[in-house]
Amino acid sequence: MNAVTPQRTAAPAPVGLLAELTHRCPLRCPYCSNPLELDRRSKELDTATWQRVLTEAAELGVLHVHLSGGEPTARQDIVEITETCAKLGLYSNLITSGVGGALDKLQALYDVGLDHVQLSVQGVDAQNAEKIGGLKNAQPQKMAFAEKVVALGLPLTLNSVIHRGNIHEVEGFIDLAVTMGAKRLEVAHTQYYGWAYVNRAALMPNKAEVDRSIRIVEAARERLKGQLVIDLVVPDYYAKYPKACAGGWGRKLMNVTPQGKVLPCHAAETIPNLEFWYVTEHSLSDIWTNAPAFTAYRGTDWMQEPCRSCDRREKDWGGCRCQALALAGDAAATDPACSLSPLHAKVRALAAEEAAENPPDYVYRTIGSNVRSPLKEEIPL
Ligand code: SF4
Ligand code: FES
């Protein structure tokens, strides 16, 4: 580590906008990244406001729009919103569960210029997948949806969130992606915030399983070069260094919630005393540059040791603020997923302990259940 005085980093233009169009979703995944208190339909932004937000995003320099949720096709105006992206020259990525009305809307989405589809798959075995997603008969709907995506010639990415309930299926996810004709597969080990934090003990795999899954992915990457790209997100609790969460706070991404609150990352609302601005009251450009929630952890000025003098501080930007809060009780602390954090050994031990116990039942994602984390009494570490 070099002792260098950190410099304030200017805000670069955001590359991506995550448009959480709705929190409504037919699935109830126990690792959902949506907040525990989900927005109700009556609070959702209307079509004209989303179109204005997208226009402002394009002006700001955003290149990619991720149409997400919840399930974005639950919005009646998903086709109009997608068409707006196309007209503005924004690359649109539909992040979908492929169930409910998704298939019925796919042709119209293609016709107005949808660029890419990212389909979630909860498991390979239908029974297991439907247990994880909490919805019967979901798997055949997903398969039919994927088939149509590929038939239309749209690039398809499969997203599999990995945890102890499906880590034995990593080979199967790879075979499924090849069979479906996907261009890309995300093997994304669960990140423990949002609903996944509540369900951490039910989801945490053990280290041997994690290592095996990484070996399988590495071998498949070699074997399938030129046919399938596999992105691997390793589980934070077992990593040496954390990832640059959201690409670094306030550096690459804006996340607009269904009711128009703008967040630097999915879970930012878990950090107390952050002031979030709404698209109904401020322009996107003003929010990006000046909103207190965005400036709070942008750059390196806010860092404490060991991040403050670490060579990697502009690579991973100190890891995840939300995880630092959840585990260390301080959002400005070094992410305890980092091996240089004084809390790292405790995090490792906690993961090993939870993975060794019988998994509790899932707490399924639902609107209005007023769920509170059963882990609260264990933190900070
Ligand atoms: Fe360095 Fe902080 Fe990143 Fe750890 S989290 S590698 S201490 S910058
Ligand atoms: Fe908020 Fe990582 S989820 S910074």
Which amino acid is residue 16, in one-letter code? G
Considering only CA atoms, which of 117, 118, 112, 60 is closest in space to residue 84? 112
Name the 3-class secondary structure at 303.
Answer: coil
CA atoms in the 13 A half-sphere facing the CB of 280: 10
Parallel, antiparallel or unpaired: strands 64-68 and 262-263? unpaired
Ligand 1 pocket mutation, candidates 340, 343, 344, 347, criterion most atoms within 8 A of CB: 340
- Report the nearest atom of ligand 1 relative to the CA of 303: 2
Name the strands in the sheet holding 116-120, side by side, starting at the edge strand that comes first in the sequence: 229-233, 184-189, 156-162, 116-120, 91-96, 64-68, 16-20, 253-256, 262-263
Q: What are phi and psi of 206, to 5 degrees?
A: -90, 165
Residue 248 lies in a domain: yes
Ligand 1 site, residue 365, Cβ cutoff 6 A: no
Q: What percent of the chain has pLDDT over 90?
A: 75
Ligand 1 pocket mutation, candidates 236, 240, 307, 343, criterion most atoms within 8 A of CB: 307
pLDDT band at 371 (very low <50, low <70, confident <90, very high): low
Residue 311 lies in a domain: yes
Pick out the residues of the known binding site for [4Fe-4S] cluster. Answer: 25, 29, 32
- Report the nearest atom of ligand 2 relative to the CA of 268: 1
308 C-alpha to ligand 1 centroid (Å): 8
Least confident of 26-30, 55-59, 247-251: 26-30
Least confident of 76-85, 191-200, 260-269, 286-295: 191-200
DSSP letters, 38-59, are PPPGGGS--HHHHHHHHHHHHH
Ligand 2 site, residue 18, Cβ cutoff 6 A: no
Q: Kindly identify the ligand whose nearest atom is closest to the C-alpha of 318.
A: 1
How many separate domains does the chain show?
1
Residue 350 lies in a domain: yes
User: From the CB of residue 37, how many other CB atoms can be counted at a distance below 10 Å?
Assistant: 13
Q: Beta partners for 19? A: 67, 256
Ligand 1 site, residue 314, Cβ cutoff 6 A: no
Considering only CA atoms, which of 115, 114, 129 is closest in space to residue 163? 129
Ligand 2 pocket mutation, candidates 320, 325, 327, 330, criterion most atoms within 8 A of CB: 320
Residue 4 lies in a domain: no
Q: What are phi and psi of 46, to 5 degrees?
A: -85, 175
Ligand 2 site, residue 246, Cβ cutoff 6 A: yes
Ligand 1 site, residue 313, Cβ cutoff 6 A: yes
Q: Of 191-200, 309-318, 350-359, which one has max mean pLDDT?
A: 309-318
What is the residue with the minimal CA distance to atom 4 of ligand 1?
338
Does the pTM surpass 0.95? The reply is no
Give start and end residues of each alpha helix (H) in the chain.
47-60, 78-88, 102-111, 126-133, 138-151, 170-180, 195-198, 200-203, 207-223, 284-290, 292-295, 321-328, 344-356
Q: Kindly identify the ligand whose nearest atom is closest to the C-alpha of 192.
A: 2
d(CA 130, CA 121): 10
CA angle, residues 254, 79, 77, in degrees to nearest 5: 80
What is the residue with the minimal CA distance to atom 2 of ligand 1?
307
How far is residue 107 from each of residues 70, 182, 300, 333, 357, measured CA to CA in Å? 21, 18, 46, 47, 46
Dump pLDDT digits (tens) for 93-142.
Answer: 999 999 998 999 999 999 999 999 999 999 999 999 999 999 999 999 99
Pick out the residues of the known binding site. Answer: 25, 29, 32
pLDDT band at 6 (very low <50, low <70, confident <90, very high): very low
265 C-alpha to ligand 2 centroid (Å): 5
Ligand 2 site, residue 325, Cβ cutoff 6 A: no
Beta carbons of 247 and 12 less than 8 angstroms apart: no
pLDDT at 12: 85
Q: Kindly identify the ligand whose nearest atom is closest to the C-alpha of 322.
A: 2
User: From the CB of residue 191, how many other CB atoms can be counted at a distance below 10 Å?
Assistant: 23
Residue 378 has pLDDT above 70, yes or no: no
Residue 195 lies in a domain: yes
CATH of the domain at 100: 3.20.20.70
What number is the average pLDDT over the span 3-30? Answer: 79
Residue 183 lies in a domain: yes
Q: Kindly identify the ligand whose nearest atom is closest to the C-alpha of 321.
A: 2
Give the pair of three-digit tokens for residue 375: 């882990």
In the chain, what is the greatest distance between 2 CA atoms, to the nearest angstrom? 58
What number is the average pLDDT over the span 23-30? Answer: 90
Considering only CA atoms, which of 101, 118, 121, 139 is closest in space to residue 29? 121
Q: What are phi and psi of 161, to 5 degrees?
A: -90, 125
d(CA 35, CA 193): 9
- Report the nearest atom of ligand 2 relative to the CA of 270: 1
Domain boundaries, position 17: 12-286+298-380
Ligand 2 site, residue 347, Cβ cutoff 6 A: no
Place of tokens 């994602």: 365
Residue 7 lies in a domain: no
278 C-alpha to ligand 1 centroid (Å): 31
Residue 377 has pLDDT above 60, yes or no: no
Beta carbons of 173 and 158 less than 8 angstroms apart: yes
Beta carbons of 361 and 308 less than 8 angstroms apart: no
